[in-house]
């Protein structure tokens, strides 16, 4: 069996790594293609190293651009690469532009597609990721879902039951594998930041960071909350580029730092009193870790983190943010538990399904 994996953006690496390792253990031929959607050392290389992925066999170096520019550049550079390797299946991950671009190329070439982290829906088509999820799932031949809401969404969209496999969450496979390393380095991080008690913030969604009328009030509330609990804020390049002057004006309790590596960020997530974010993956990681998560979005494609985890949608309701933040500091509501099949073995299940389907 020949498997080709497509990765491109930061959230792809932790999803692809466990699947790559599980397939390697079964001795199949694999090719890793990096589209170059994310290209900074701290958005890409540090993840590949920490996750023990090999150096990509093929790098498409597409870089940044508008959605159309980026997606079309990936498509035109990926086509000759996939034709050169002629895999039995191409695995795509999550919902980024690299995911949908590779799926479109393969579907026209008649090459089978497996979508890992399939079926998630925010029902908000103003999010570029929702379009990427909808299109990729329509094109995929094997759809691997992290939770049963994914299966329900896919069935409702007319996808046949035989193509859908509830396997659990591959990102949690990586988290479980690397948690001991995160625990090992945490004392060093605590000494570095000189913080016993802290919260963690990430913000990068266009809907939150692109407009002044949205981002500046958000930053002001975070600045205020950091007076109660110091906040560490690793800043995504998109946010940094746009707001570097405003970020510098924040009070010193809002620690604006460069993006962190996977293991460092995991250590902080586990030990934070509360996480404030607009990321998708962080909603899942905090649910597994039992860390309260306040999501600055009106919706989530990961509703299981609300019903079975520690996530609360606060949107742009600053009063709700203040209240939930204080509740988290005071011990707050107890974590609800962990979703089924978030057990560290999702990638093993994927590798077994691929082997039985493709041979």
Residues tagged active-site = 204
Binding mask 238-267 for ligand UD1 (x = CB under 6 A): x--x--------------------------
**Helix, strand, or coil (residue 30):** strand
Residue tagged 């110091």 (tokens): 230
**Region of 16-24, 33-41, 102-110, 320-328 interacting with ligand UD1 (CB under 6 A):** 33-41
Query: Smallest distance from the beta carbon of 236 to ligand UD1, in angstroms?
Result: 6
Instruction: Give yes or no for a contact between 85 and 260, defined as CB atoms under 8 angstroms apart.
Output: no
Question: How do beta strands 2-7 and 29-34 pair?
Answer: parallel
Instruction: Give yes or no for a contact between 256 and 236, defined as CB atoms under 8 angstroms apart.
Output: no
- Candidates 4, 9, 53, 170: give the one binding ligand UD1 (CB under 6 A): 9
- Candidates 2, 237, 320, 353: give the one binding ligand UD1 (CB under 6 A): 237
Q: Residue count at the site for ligand UD1 (CB under 6 A)?
A: 19
Task: Please give the backbone phi and psi of residue 153, each rounded to the nearest 5 degrees, phi first.
Answer: -60, -45
Query: Smallest distance from the beta carbon of 262 to ligand UD1, in angstroms?
Result: 12
Q: Would you report the helix, strand and coil content of the chain in percent, each value rounded to 5?
A: 50, 15, 35
When asked if residue 11 is in the footprint of ligand UD1 (CB under 6 A), the reply is yes
When asked if residue 169 is in the footprint of ligand UD1 (CB under 6 A), the reply is no
Query: Smallest distance from the beta carbon of 120 to ligand UD1, in angstroms?
Result: 12
Query: Smallest distance from the beta carbon of 326 to ligand UD1, in angstroms?
Result: 28
Rg of the chain over Cα atoms, rounded to whole angstroms, equals: 20
When asked if residue 37 is in the footprint of ligand UD1 (CB under 6 A), the reply is yes
Retrieve residue 325's tokens.
């933040």
Query: Smallest distance from the beta carbon of 283 to ligand UD1, in angstroms?
Result: 11
Q: Which is nearer to ligand UD1, 96 or 289 (CB)?
A: 96
Query: Smallest distance from the beta carbon of 353 to ligand UD1, in angstroms?
Result: 26
Number of residues assigned to the chain = 359
- CA atoms of 217 and 297, how far apart (whole Å): 14
- CA atoms of 123 and 164, how far apart (whole Å): 20
Torsion over CA: 19, 264, 271, 241 (sign): negative
Element housing 98 (H / E) = helix 97-109
Binding mask 72-111 for ligand UD1 (x = CB under 6 A): -----------------------xxx--------------
Q: How many CA atoms lie within 13 A of 133 on its CB side?
A: 25
DSSP 5: E
- Candidates 112, 128, 138, 223: give the one binding ligand UD1 (CB under 6 A): 128
Q: Which is nearer to ligand UD1, 74 or 341 (CB)?
A: 74
Binding residues among 43-62 for ligand UD1 as defined by CB under 6 A: 43
Q: Which is nearer to ligand UD1, 39 or 165 (CB)?
A: 39
Distances (CA, A) of 117 to 78, 170, 216, 262: 21, 8, 33, 19
- CA atoms of 104 and 265, how far apart (whole Å): 33
- CA atoms of 350 and 359, how far apart (whole Å): 14
Binding residues among 289-348 for ligand UD1 as defined by CB under 6 A: none
Return residues touching ligand UD1 (CB under 6 A).
Answer: 9-11, 37-40, 43, 64, 95-97, 128-129, 204, 236-238, 241
């Amino acid at each position: 069996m020949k498997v080709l994996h497509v990765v491109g953006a930061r959230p792809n690496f932790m999803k692809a790594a466990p699947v790559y390792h599980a397939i390697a253990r079964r001795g199949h031929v694999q090719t890793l293609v990096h589209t170059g959607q994310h290209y900074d050392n701290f958005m890409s290389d540090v993840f590949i190293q920490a996750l023990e992925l090999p150096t990509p066999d093929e790098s498409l170096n597409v870089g940044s651009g508008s959605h159309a520019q980026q997606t079309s550049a990936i498509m035109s550079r990926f086509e000759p690469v996939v034709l050169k390797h002629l895999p039995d299946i191409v695995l795509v991950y999550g919902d980024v532009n690299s995911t949908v671009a590779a799926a479109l190329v393969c579907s026209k070439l008649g090459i089978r597609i497996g979508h890992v982290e399939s079926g998630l829906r925010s029902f908000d088509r103003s999010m570029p990721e929702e379009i990427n999820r909808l299109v990729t799932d329509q094109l995929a031949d094997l759809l691997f879902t992290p939770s049963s809401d994914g299966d329900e969404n896919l069935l409702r969209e007319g996808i046949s039951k035989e193509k859908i496999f509830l396997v659990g969450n591959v990102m949690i496979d990586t988290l479980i594998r690397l948690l001991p390393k995160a625990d090992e380095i945490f004392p060093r991080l605590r000494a570095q930041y000189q913080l016993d008690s802290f919260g963690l913030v990430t913000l990068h969604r266009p809907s939150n960071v692109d407009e002044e009328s949205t981002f500046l009030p958000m930053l002001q509330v975070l600045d205020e909350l950091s007076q109660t609990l110091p906040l560490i804020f690793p800043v995504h390049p998109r946010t940094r580029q746009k707001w570097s002057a405003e970020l510098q004006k924040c009070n010193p309790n809002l620690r604006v730092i460069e993006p962190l590596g996977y293991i460092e960020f995991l250590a902080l997530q586990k030990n934070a009193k509360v996480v404030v974010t607009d990321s998708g993956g962080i909603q899942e990681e905090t649910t597994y870790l039992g860390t309260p998560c306040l999501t600055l979005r009106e919706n989530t494609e990961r509703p299981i983190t609300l019903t079975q985890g520690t996530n609360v949608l606060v949107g742009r309701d600053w009063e709700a943010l203040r209240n939930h933040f204080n509740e988290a500091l005071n011990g707050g509501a107890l974590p609800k538990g962990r979703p089924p099949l978030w057990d560290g073995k999702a990638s093993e299940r994927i590798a077994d399904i691929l082997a039985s389907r493709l041979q």
